């Protein structure tokens, strides 16, 4: 995507909400919150990681509660 917001590319395609993206420090991955695997939207969310181009989405939390606001910070999320 350009700085002015044009030429954007959709990186996820799920029926649930995909929100709160955060770039990895090296710019190669994005962590985000999603309801994609919930049977009942609005009941819980999990964290996922995708490549910067949207490839290889992986679920990294499995607890059925609300997970969100991921931050790469000093500690990186543990990937399963």
pTM of the model: 0.76
Q: Could you please report the per-residue DSSP string of 2-64?
A: -TTS-S-------SS-EEEEEE-TTSSEEEEEE-TT-SSTTS--EEEEEETTS-S-EE---SS
The pLDDT tens digits for 7-53 are 777 778 877 788 899 999 998 999 999 988 776 666 788 999 999 99
The residues spanned by each domain of the chain are 1-72
Tokens of 40: 């009942």
């Amino acid at each position: 995507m350009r700085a002015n917001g044009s030429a954007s590319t959709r990186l996820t395609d799920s029926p649930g909400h995909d929100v709160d993206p955060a770039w990895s420090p090296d710019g190669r991955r994005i962590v985000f919150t999603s309801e994609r695997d919930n049977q009942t939207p609005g009941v819980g969310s999990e964290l996922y990681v995708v490549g910067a181009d949207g490839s290889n989405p992986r679920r990294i939390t499995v607890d059925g509660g609300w997970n969100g606001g991921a931050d790469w910070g000093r500690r990186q999320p543990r990937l399963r």
